[in-house]
Amino acid sequence: MSDRKATLTIDGIDEPLDLAIYDGTLGPSVIDVGKLVSKGVFTYDPGFVSTAACESTITFIDGGKGILLHGGYPIEQLAEKSSYLEVCYLLLHGELPSAQQKAEFESVIRNHTMVNDQVSVFFRGFRRDAHPMAIMCGVVGALSAFYHDATDISDSLHREISAHRLIAKMPTLAAMTYKYTKGQPFMYPRNDLNYAENFLYMMFGNPCEEYKVSPVLSRAMDRIFLLHADHEQNASTSTVRMAGSTGANPFACISAGIAALWGPSHGGANEAVLAMLTEIGDVSRIDEFVARAKDKDDPFRLMGFGHRVYKNFDPRALVMKQTADEVLGELGLKDDPLLAIAQRLEQIALEDEYFIEKKLYPNVDFYSGLILKAIGIPISMFTVIFALGRTVGWISHWNEMISNSYRIARPRQLYIGPVKRDYVELDERE
Ligand code: SDX
C-alpha cells in the first residue's frame, strides 16, 4: 500500500473523505472505496469499466500497449516457446516448472483424463442436436457429484486435485460432447499421446481404424489452448470468482464460467465471427457489413473486433493471425475464401475512421475460428474449445481467491424503483 490518498468531498457531507490508494507492480493504482458505505453512498460503475474487484498475481494486461503477461512472461514468447500444459503450471503456481516439475505435472494430467463411466450416461439425456455449450454446462457441473473425496475448498491439496482433474478432463468431456452430437461412439483417452494430440484423437478418431494425429494440427491445437488460457478479470473469470466467493465447489464454479463464456460478446464471439464471415460470403460485400457495424440504428457488430481492455491490437490476435497463416499454408488451404474475407475485412476496418476513433482492433476471436475450421472442428464447438483452454485460468483465479482471505461478492445498486406503498386489494385495483 502507498501512503498516497484520494480526498473525496461530497455535497452534504461535512468532512472530506480520505481514501487509501494502493499501487500494484504494474498498471493503474486503485482507490479503496470500501468505507463509502459508512457515509451512505456507493460507487456506481455498471459493467465494472473502472472497478478492480480483487488483487491478483496471475495475469497482467496493458490494453493501451497491447501487452499480455502470464506470471510476467509475454504471451508472444509463451506462444513461441512454451506449451499449454507448461502455461497451465505457470498459471497455477506462478513460476515456470523445472524439468522434473514439468514431467510430474504432465504425468498427473495424463493420468486423470478419464471420467467416471457414469458420466457417459448424462449425455443420453440431451438431444443429439443440443448446442455443445449447453451439454458442457451440464456435464462439467455434474462432475461435483463424483468427487466428494476432494471438495474441501479450505484444503490446498483438495484444491490442487480439483484443478488437475478439471484440466485433465475438459478435453475428454469436450470430445465426448462432439461425439455425442455426431452420433459416434466416445473415444477413451490414450496415455501415449500428449494433451493436444489426445484431444484430436478423441475428437476425430473412431474404433474402426487407426487415427494418425497430424503434428501440424496438434501443434496448432496446443497453441489455441495456450492463447485462451487466461485473461485476468474477464466476464467468465469474474463469474467463477463470484460463484467461488460463496464457497461453491470448483466444478460448479467452472460450470458457471462456461455459461458466462457462451455469450456472443465474450467467448461465443469465435463462433459468431465464422457465421459473420460466411454471411458476408464475398469480399465485395465487406463494405456493406462495415457500414452496418457503424450504423447506430443497426444492432450488427463486427464480431471479433473491439475489446473492453485492449485499445490496441490484442496480442493474442496477432499470434493467432500468424498461426492461421502457418496452419492454412501447411494444409494447403491458403485459398480459403473466408481467410481472404477476414484479411480484407481487417484491413478495411483498421483504415476506417470509425474503428480508429473507437480503437476497435481484432481480438482473440477474430482469427481463431479460421484455425479451428482448418483443424476440422465444427463452428458449434468453437466456444467449447475456448472453455477448454480457459479452464486453467478460471481454476487458477478460483484457487488464488480461496487461498487468500476473501469475502462473499455482493455488489449494491442505485435503486430507482417505486417508493414504499401499501398493498392494494384486488377489487380496488383499476
Ligand atoms: C473476449 O474481457 C476479456 O478479456 C474477454 C476476452 C477474454 O480472453 O476473456 O478477451 C475474450 O470476450 C473478446 C471479445 C469478443 N467479443 C466480440 O468480438 C464481440 C464484438 N465486440 C463487442 O461487442 C465489444 O467490443 C466488446 C463486448 C468486446 C467490448 O464491449 P465494451 O467494452 O462494453 O464496449 P462498448 O460496447 O461500450 O463499445 C464502445 C463503442 C460503442 O459505440 P458508442 O456507443 O460509443 O458509439 O464501440 C462500438 C460500440 O457500438 N463497438 C463496436 C464494436 N465493438 C464496440 N462497433 C462495431 N463493431 C464492434 N465489434
Q: Is 307 in the pocket of ligand 1 (CB under 6 A)?
A: yes
Residues 140, 259: Cα–Cα separation, whole Å: 11
* pLDDT of 40 over the 70 cut: yes
Report helix angle 84-93 to 195-204, nearest 10. Answer: 120
Choose, from 131, 266, 352, 397, the residue flagged as catalytic.
Answer: 266
Percent share of the chain, pLDDT over 70: 100
Distance CA 178, CA 175 (A): 5
What's the CA gap between 330 and 82, in Å, rounded? 21
Ligand 1 mutation target, pool 230, 266, 312, most atoms within 8 A of CB: 266
The CA angle 351-359-344, to the nearest 5 degrees, is: 35
Distance 269 CA to ligand 1 centre (A): 10
Instruction: Classify residue 216 as exposed, middle or buried by CB count within 10 Å of its CB (0-12, 13-18, 19+).
Output: middle
Residue bearing the CA closest to ligand 1, atom 47? 358
Calpha distance 162→155 (Å, rounded): 11
From 222, 230, 352, 365, the catalytic residue: 365
For residue 149, what pLDDT is reported? Answer: 82
With bands split at pLDDT 50, 70 and 90, how would you rate the model's confidence at 421? very high
- The string over 109-131, giving b where at least 16 C-beta atoms fall within 10 Å of a residue's C-beta and e elsewhere, is bbebbebeeebeebbeebeeebb
**Phi and psi, residue 169, nearest 5°:** -95, -15
* Residue 13 pLDDT grade (very low, low, confident, very high; cuts 50, 70, 90): confident
3-state secondary structure (DSSP) of residue 269: helix
Q: 365 an active-site residue?
A: yes
Q: Express each pLDDT in 366-413 by its tens digit.
A: 999 999 999 999 999 999 999 999 999 999 999 999 999 899 999 999
Ligand 1 atom with least separation from CA of 230: 8
Average pLDDT, the chain: 95
> pLDDT at position 336, please?
87
Q: Say yes or no: CB of residue 359 within 6 Å of ligand 1.
A: no
Q: Are 9 and 16 in contact (CB under 8 A)?
A: yes
Report helix, strand or coil for 288: helix
Residue-wise pLDDT tens digits, 97-156: 999 999 999 999 999 999 999 999 999 999 999 999 999 999 999 999 998 888 899 999
Show the cell assigned to 267: 467467448
**How far apart, in whole angstroms, are the C-alpha atoms of residue 261 and residue 137?**
10
Active-site entry in 70, 164, 231, 307:
307
Helix (H, G, I), strand (E, B) or coil at 230: coil
> Atom 51, ligand 1: which residue's CA is nearest?
306
Q: Has 266 been annotated as catalytic?
A: yes
- Kindly report, residue by residue over 338-373, the tens digit of the pLDDT: 989 999 999 998 899 999 999 999 998 999 999 999
CA distances from 341 to 289, 306, 307, 315, 320 (A): 12, 18, 21, 21, 16
Q: For residue 334, is pLDDT > 90?
A: no
User: Can you give the C-alpha Rg of the chain in angstroms?
Assistant: 24
How much of the chain exceeds pLDDT 90, in percent? 92
- Per the annotation, the verdict on 307 as an active-site residue is yes
Q: Is the pLDDT at 2 greater than 70, yes or no?
A: no
Q: How confident is the model at residue 1 (pLDDT cuts 50, 70, 90)?
A: low
Tell me the per-residue pLDDT of 224-257, one tens digit each, with 9 for 90 and over. 999 999 999 999 999 999 999 999 999 999 999 9
- Report the pLDDT averaged over residues 311-321: 92
Per-residue confidence band for 282, with pLDDT thresholds at 50, 70 and 90: very high
349 lines ligand 1 (CB under 6 A): no
- Comparing 364 with 90, the larger pLDDT belongs to 90
Round to whole Å and give the CA distance between 302 and 293.
6
Q: Is the CB of 317 inside a 6 Å radius of any atom of ligand 1?
A: no
Distance CA 172, CA 203 (A): 9
Cβ of 360 below 6 Å from ligand 1: yes
**pTM for the predicted model, two decimal places:** 0.95
